[in-house]
Structure 1
């Protein structure tokens, strides 16, 4: 069986670059004007530029949450501007969002919503989300800056695999046996009890049968 992911705690990471060099860390911290927290540095060692398919609950301002995925983690590579490197995204946030020093954008969703580490004295290492406003016809959503967790570690702990996402991906995205094998590994890491979920287990078994039958044709 192939190994599709690198595991960090309950997170399955895909496509990570090699761990950053001391020089790259120093360049980030110099531009940031703050040291990176140990928890962030530990994650960066294994998740440099990685993708991870997890859900983050963002308060909607009305007592509920919006499920979002800030799944593209920026890399420590040399960068210039809006290029999904930590230094490039710092520069972009300062130019386009008037972001002060000691604020680090570190991941984004599929659009322009991002998550930030607030390393200012007031922020104390909390994680903030910047949620892009949607057009009116899409429905209301909270937007702007929203606190998501008191620390980077707490934010990682809050990430989870959404059940509806699993069912949707099984139905619409899994088209080859290797996709199903990768999904099983993803679930084993991030949702260890998934085989006890009757709905997921039944759809997984059905997809196995379908893919096996198509291979035999």
Structure 2
């Protein structure tokens, strides 16, 4: 397991830890799902298949009433740290989806779950021949007092995993929370410098925001 804090891929910062890519595990997964992994997603796994991708995307894409949501918890190729295909692994999530709550909400035939967020919203790759590699998102419905989306929604958000990455953005609320966790650290601390690089690239002008300037800084 690599101890790198982050890696860059297509201009997006992927956070570790980074399990090694094992071609044998990709073959095991492909045999069970009965389809090949989309090329763009496999390239991502080979180069930067880390644990978190702290970005968001508009859902439904291009709609005036879209919401900005992220799917930051990436599922892992191969076995988990406990040595099993369990929670948080691609194969474990694929196996569990057919018998879990998700099956009651989403027609899972031909879909491979690849990421989730803390609210249980899930990101999928389409493995069907006609739409191989398309990226879909399932988001839960909200109670009436919380917003206009009363029912769960499954929607396509990108034609490929590369296109999905290219459309990601840093949500300003997440930026504020993340910076608040490191603002008081030593300016030379590796994690703080990592967060600064993430913000500098994905949210230009963030240093001028009030939340970036209202916390005491350690001398640099």
With the shorter chain as reference, the TM-score category is 0.7 to 0.9
How many residue pairs align between the two structures? 204
Deviations along 1:90-149, one digit per CA (max 9) or x if unpaired, are 11122231622x321101011211110011023232111011223333222262211111
Superposed counterparts of 1:140-159, under 5 Å: 140-141=148-149, 143-159=152-168
Match of 1:116 in 2: 124
The runs of at least 4 consecutive aligned structure 1 residues that moved more than 6 Å come to: none
TM-score calculated relative to the size of structure 1:
0.81
Match of 1:182 in 2: 194
> Helix, strand or coil: the match of 2:162?
helix
Long gaps (5+) in structure 2: none
**Aligned counterpart in structure 1 of residue 169 of structure 2, from 160, 181, 201:** 160
Task: Give the root-mean-square deviation of aligned CA atoms.
Answer: 2.7
Mapped partners of 1:60, 1:159: distance in 2: 11
Mapped partners of 1:56, 1:151: distance in 2: 14
Long gaps (5+) in structure 1: none
- Are 1:52 and 2:64 counterparts? no
Q: Mean Cα displacement is larger for which, 120-129 or 132-141? A: 132-141
Mapped partners of 2:164, 2:137: distance in 1: 11
TM-score calculated relative to the size of structure 2:
0.80
> Helix, strand or coil: the match of 1:57?
strand
Mapped partners of 2:19, 2:181: distance in 1: 32
- Are 1:134 and 2:146 counterparts? no
